[in-house]
Amino acid sequence: MAAARPLAADAAGLGLRRALLGPLQAASDDAIDFIEVAPENWIGVGGALGDAFEAIASRWPVVCHGLSLSLGGPGELDETLLAKLWRFLDRFDSPIYSEHLSACTDARGQLYDLMPLPFHRAAVDHVVARIRRTQDVLGRRIAVENISYYATLATGDDAAMREIDFINDVLHRADCDLLLDVNNIVVNATNHRYDAREFLAGLPGDRIAYIHVAGHYDEADDLKIDTHGASVSTPVWDLLDATYARFGPRPTLLERDFNLPPFDELLSELGGVRTRLAQATRGRRDAA
């Protein structure tokens, strides 16, 4: 498979939802720079939906963000899914494939949720082997996303790790990239009482393939719920600014899974990403 053309550092994208098929088909080419899809939702889809997807994919780069590979799960990797993913990525010349640094299966099958992994050296060994196998089958580096979580899995021994060390060890040993979800840092920092900017500073900037921003729900002052169903909050915008200041502009995607506003409002919010990317680009240029 020939290498796909990489996204520009200042690219701003939207996650594709079926409700956006019509608005995106009617949008101008410069409305967005790329789309992100969950390939499992589109593999094998035909008819009118498949035609609409093909039309959109012919206009913008298609970044793929998986939902069900279960990189940290206990069972065998789904080799059948990997083969389908390889064909999908090849067909749409996708520049990036990412998955969650989590588990979504157990011995009984799919859990239909993203479960955190224990921050433990044995878990690093397990997930690194699975990432490496995935990269071998797909013939490309993949990116893994730092997920939001609400409880930690106790390990109680000397092999226990901090979250930041767990993520960095996986990235280094698997030789993979990072999908940096800024919203998830804000959510986790609030819920687990750590400093979001200190966490950000501990990440390897050279591994960041692209960035997610999204909205969350404030259940209480000390509890945030990662919903992707609201506008991006001020703390997330602020941490995005800090991310660009530290690492420079990176392709950035606005996630919105439900409570979709009118398309013009969604594009206006994406304009907030574009403005910040432009400022970061100018800042880097001026510094150089």
Let me know if residue 3 belongs to a domain.
no
Q: In the prediction, which pLDDT does 154 show?
A: 64
Phi, psi of 115 (to 5 degrees): -95, 140
Torsion of CA 127, 128, 134, 137, to 10 degrees: -140
Let me know if residue 75 belongs to a domain.
yes
Let me know if residue 113 belongs to a domain.
yes
CB atoms closer than 10 angstroms to residue 269:
16
Q: 130 with 71: CB under 8 angstroms?
A: yes
Let me know if residue 213 belongs to a domain.
yes
Domain tally, the chain: 1
Let me know if residue 100 belongs to a domain.
yes
Q: How confident is the model at residue 151 (pLDDT cuts 50, 70, 90)?
A: confident
Q: In the prediction, which pLDDT does 157 show?
A: 75
d(CA 20, CA 23): 5
For residue 147, pLDDT beyond 60: yes
* Averaged confidence pLDDT in the chain: 93
Residue 160 Rama label (left phi>0; alpha psi -120 to 50; beta): beta
Using one digit for the tens of pLDDT, what is the confidence trace for 169-215?
A: 999 999 999 999 999 999 999 999 999 999 999 999 999 999 999 99
Percent above pLDDT 70 for the chain: 95
* CA angle at 179 for the pair 176 and 184, rounded to the nearest 5°: 135
pTM: 0.94
Q: How confident is the model at residue 48 (pLDDT cuts 50, 70, 90)?
A: very high
Average pLDDT over residues 106-114: 65
Let me know if residue 23 belongs to a domain.
yes
Let me know if residue 4 belongs to a domain.
no
Using one digit for the tens of pLDDT, what is the confidence trace for 226-273?
A: 998 999 999 999 999 999 999 999 999 999 999 999 999 999 999 999
d(CA 148, CA 161): 17
CATH number at residue 82: 3.20.20.150
Q: In the prediction, which pLDDT does 105 show?
A: 72
Q: In the prediction, which pLDDT does 2 show?
A: 46
Q: Which residue has the tokens 């069972």?
A: 75
Q: Could you tell me whether strands 217-220 and 177-181 are parallel, antiparallel, or unpaired per DSSP bridges?
A: unpaired
Let me know if residue 6 belongs to a domain.
no
Q: Of 40, 28, 93, which is closest to residue 62 (Cα–Cα)?
A: 93
Give the range of the structural domain holding residue 18, as residue numbers without chain letter. 12-287
For residue 91, pLDDT beyond 50: yes
**Token duo for residue 237:** 């915008």
Q: In the prediction, which pLDDT does 284 show?
A: 81
